[in-house]
Amino acid sequence: MHGPFNRGPHRKPMGEINVVPFIDVMLVLLVIFMITAPMMTQGVQVELPKVTSEPIDVPDDSEPLVVSVNRDGEYFLSVGDGQTPLSLDEISNKVIAILQRKPQTPVMVKGDQSVSYGQVVTLMSTLQTAGVPNVGLISDPPPAKR
């Protein structure tokens, strides 16, 4: 039958989806994230002491809370804007609030090697007063001997 609405032989509709463009987009996004991820890490510039020690086992589901002391003796907390110096009272209040929400949060101290021992001990005492049961100290491994 040849009529004005007949457009030739009937073709079956194609039931497959072409996923190649989606794979291309995903690979481009993967490359973008791989390039930008190292740039997104923020922190306080601290020259850690070089010592040999065993790593602490931290549960995978809890991100440790890191309190830093830079070479100028300023204190920083690794929550939100980690680039603003905080007083010991502000750090204590924020640590108390965090531990009330997640009591199993590990707390670590990252102190510059040129900071006086007294400042680190004062910080650890403040954390203990805030209710932190155990404080870990962060250090860098010594350079490999050749």
Residue 2 domain-assigned (yes or no): no
Residue 143 domain-assigned (yes or no): no
Q: Which residues pair with 50 in a beta bridge?
A: 140
Residue 8 is given by DSSP the state S
- Name the H helices within the chain: 20-36, 88-101, 117-129
Residue 6 domain-assigned (yes or no): no
For the domain that residue 124 is a member of, what is the CATH number?
Answer: 3.30.420.270
Residue 70 domain-assigned (yes or no): yes
Task: Give the pTM.
Answer: 0.56
- 43 CB-near residues (< 8 Å, 6+ apart): 68, 78, 82
CB 53 within 8 A of CB 139: yes
- 142 CB-near residues (< 8 Å, 6+ apart): 50, 51, 52
Residue 13 domain-assigned (yes or no): no
Q: For 2-31, how does the pLDDT look when each residue is reduced to its tens digit (9 = 90+)?
A: 555 666 667 777 778 888 889 999 999 999
Q: For 76-95, how does the pLDDT look when each residue is reduced to its tens digit (9 = 90+)?
A: 888 655 567 888 898 889 88
Residue 106 domain-assigned (yes or no): yes
Whether residue 60 is predicted with pLDDT greater than 90 in this model: the reply is no
Residue type, 64: P
Q: What is the pLDDT of residue 113?
A: 81
Per the model's pLDDT, the better-predicted residue between 71 and 12 turns out to be 71
Residue 56 domain-assigned (yes or no): no
Question: Given pLDDT bands bounded at 50, 70 and 90, which one contains residue 112?
Answer: confident
Question: Given pLDDT bands bounded at 50, 70 and 90, which one contains residue 40?
Answer: low
Give the residue numbers spanning the domain of 109.
65-137
Q: How many domains does the chain have?
A: 1
Residue 78 domain-assigned (yes or no): yes
